Amino acid sequence: MNQKKEKYERYSILIQWSDIDQKYVVTFPELYEAHTRGKTLEQAIRNAKQVIELLVDTDEEEGIPIPPPQVIISEAADTSGTPGISDTSSAAHAA
Question: Per the domain annotation, does 74 fall within a domain?
Answer: no
Residue 6's pLDDT band (cuts 50, 70, 90): confident
Mean pLDDT of the chain: 81
Question: Can you give the residue range of the structural domain that contains 44?
Answer: 3-68
Give 22-36 pLDDT, tens digit per residue.
999 999 999 887 899
Q: In this structure, is residue 32 part of a structural domain? A: yes
pLDDT digits (tens, 9 = 90+) for 59-89: 999 999 988 888 888 666 545 555 555 555 4
Round to whole Å and give the CA distance between 80 and 94. 11
Q: Residue 44, exposed/middle/buried by CB under 10 A (0-12, 13-18, 19+)?
A: buried
Supply the CATH number for residue 61's domain: 3.30.160.250
Domain membership of residue 40 (yes or no) is yes
Domain membership of residue 82 (yes or no) is no
Residue 74, helix vs strand vs coil: coil
What domain count does the chain have?
A: 1
| Strands, E assignment, 19-61 | 23-27, 35-38
Whether 91 maps to a domain, the answer reads no
In a domain, 95, yes or no: no
The whole-number pLDDT of residue 75 equals 67
